[in-house]
Amino acid sequence: MGVFTMSDSVKYLLPEDRIPRAWYNIAADLPEPPPAVLHPGTGQPIGPADLSAIFPMPLILQEVAQDREIEIPDPVRDVYKLWRPSPLYRALRLERALDTPARIFYKYEGVSPAGSHKPNTAVAQAYFNRESGFTKLSTETGAGQWGSSLAFAGSVFGLEVKVYMVKVSFQQKPYRRALMETYGATCIPSPSEETDCGRAILAATPDSPGSLGIAISEAVEVAAKNPDTNYSLGSVLNHVLLHQTVIGLEAIEQMEMAGYWPDVVIGCAGGGSNFAGLAFPFIGRKLREGTDMRIIAVEPSACPTLTRGTYAYDFGDTAHLTPLVKMYTLGSQFVPPGFHAGGLRYHGMAPMVSHVKELGLIEARAVHQTPCFEAGVVFARAEGIVPAPETTHAIRVAIDEALTCKADGRARTILFNLSGHGHFDMQAYTDYFAGKLEDRDYDEASLRDALAALPQVAA
């Protein structure tokens, strides 16, 4: 049994007036700026005007901002109050189950209406779009976390939200669709007859199951063609990561309440937004004050962007509609094998996360899904919360670090981001208990081909 008294505090709560008043912009503290975003036609750095067809100006300016603090508007903070500040937990029961001297803390973002960190940026994006005069948003969703978060944000600010949902997910996850509709959004299986892009794909392959790349293309097309409609993205971009920093800013204050500073900070990484949301404020402390800690991004072995990808200019989507960004990438044509963490299937990694990796400020680790679900079940039985499949990746590494502490006999402090609950992902647990999960690695030949197809950019 680990050494602790159960009468210790389990939750560290902050009052509403401690919701951060500004997001933290890591660009202000980095020793060098990230590489420029390039126009795919000219190869030249893009400017705000290039993005104004689909994004409102406040978000475009946040994308390139250099100020350390970006003020959070009061109406956004007022919506955050519905679930923020989110609790920081000390996982005393997990520590006891592992019999480890480690102190394990987790920041729980599953308390949001949609059940993950995604509403932190959805609410901000909906607000800035409405303030800029737009009345409709289009977006894509795969597993449905992002689509339901933007649907919620749209309902709060009175925006019409149209979500293009990958057709196979639309069919397999009817309850995510029901959640979006409950929030008043329209959910359309993609490819659809509503866009040129969708019609072209359906003409060629009438039974297309869809893909995130196709759904992005449909959502972007709708935004580009309709002056009252903008496009909204749930990860990858600088302004999205910026909005997520409320997680780490609150966590720093809560760790100080708890009286411990983390030796290790852990987050799962798909596009990179929940990881950055927790990690960037801690990296800022490291850069400004020299506070030492390890920071680990955890990704699936089946889609190992940071651990097996190349740091290169690439498109953000499969249809090559986006600008070129320099990032760790497996190639935009890369298709990972099937696995259950739908939010960790992206071929690239947020440029800013890639940049801090390149600067040596973070580590990356790849894990297989079966040991992740094992970790998720150990966690659920100890702490009660059933984690999302994506989140189990962070838990796996947090548990591994705690077991290393046990082997070493050292009481390190571990902090991870419990980015979401798994209430809408129980099929994955059903498959796990039925022994149906496969730990397939990516296909080497397929990765080689995808990397060979990277666009040629004169650096």
* Sign of CA pseudo-dihedral 306, 311, 317, 323: positive
Sheet holding 186-190, edge to edge: 186-190, 160-166, 136-141, 229-231
Contact indicator for 355, 297 with CB cutoff of 8 Å: no
Is beta strand 310-315 parallel, antiparallel or unpaired with respect to 324-329?
antiparallel
Q: What are phi and psi of 407, to 5 degrees?
A: -65, -40
Q: Is 73 in the site for a copy of itself (CB under 8 A)?
A: no
Our CB check for a copy of itself shows the closer of 11 and 288 to be 11
290 Rama class: left (phi>0) / alpha (psi -120 to 50) / beta: left
Instruction: Return d(Cα 108, Cα 79) in angstroms, integer.
Output: 18
How is residue 143 written in tokens?
């597993």
Give the interface segment with a copy of itself, choosing from 46-54, 288-296, 364-372, 419-427 (CB under 8 A): 419-427
Beta carbon nearer to a copy of itself, 18 or 285: 18
What is the enclosing helix (H) or strand (E) of 299?
strand 294-300
Of 23, 128, 134, 152, the one binding a copy of itself by CB under 8 A? 152
Instruction: Quote the least distance from Cβ 114 to a copy of itself, whole Å.
Output: 8
If binding is defined by CB under 8 A, does position 208 make contact with a copy of itself? Answer: no
Query: Total number of residues binding a copy of itself (CB under 8 A)?
Result: 47
Q: Whose Cβ is closer to a copy of itself: residue 96's or residue 440's? A: 96
> Among residues 131 and 443, whose Cβ is nearest to a copy of itself?
131
**Residue 255 binds a copy of itself, judged by CB under 8 A:** no
Is 157 a residue that touches a copy of itself (CB under 8 A)? no
182-205 CB burial, b ≥16 within 10 A, e <16: ebebebbbbbbebbebbeebeeee
* Region of 38-46, 80-88, 337-345, 435-443 interacting with a copy of itself (CB under 8 A): 80-88
Q: What is the bridge-based pairing of β-strands 160-166 and 88-90?
A: unpaired
Q: 155, 307, 370, 404: which one contacts a copy of itself (CB under 8 A)?
A: 155
Select the residue interacting with a copy of itself from 424, 437, 442, 451 (CB under 8 A).
424
**Four-CA torsion 446, 337, 303, 248, nearest 10 degrees:** 160
Out of 377, 403, 411, 457, name the contact with a copy of itself by CB under 8 A. Answer: 377
Find the binding residues for a copy of itself in span 163-192 (CB under 8 A). Answer: 174-175, 177-179, 181-184
Residue 48 CB, nearest approach to a copy of itself (Å): 31
Helices (H), 3-103: 48-51, 57-63, 74-80, 92-98
Q: How far is the CB of 175 from a copy of itself (least distance, A)?
A: 4
Q: Cβ neighbours of residue 420 under 8 Å, at least 6 residues apart?
A: 109, 110, 115, 116, 117, 118, 145, 387, 388, 390, 391
Beta strands per DSSP E along 85-159: 88-90, 103-108, 136-141
7 sits near a copy of itself (criterion: CB under 8 A): yes
Using the rule CB under 8 A, which residue among 40, 75, 209, 323 binds a copy of itself?
75
Task: Rule CB under 8 A: choose which of 59, 94, 150, 156 binds a copy of itself.
Answer: 156
Find the binding residues for a copy of itself in span 83-142 (CB under 8 A): 83, 93, 111-115
The DSSP call for residue 387 is B
Query: Which residues bind to a copy of itself, rule: CB under 8 A?
Result: 6-7, 9-11, 13, 15-16, 74-75, 78, 81-83, 93, 111-115, 152, 155-156, 174-175, 177-179, 181-184, 377, 380-386, 423-424, 426-427, 429-430, 433
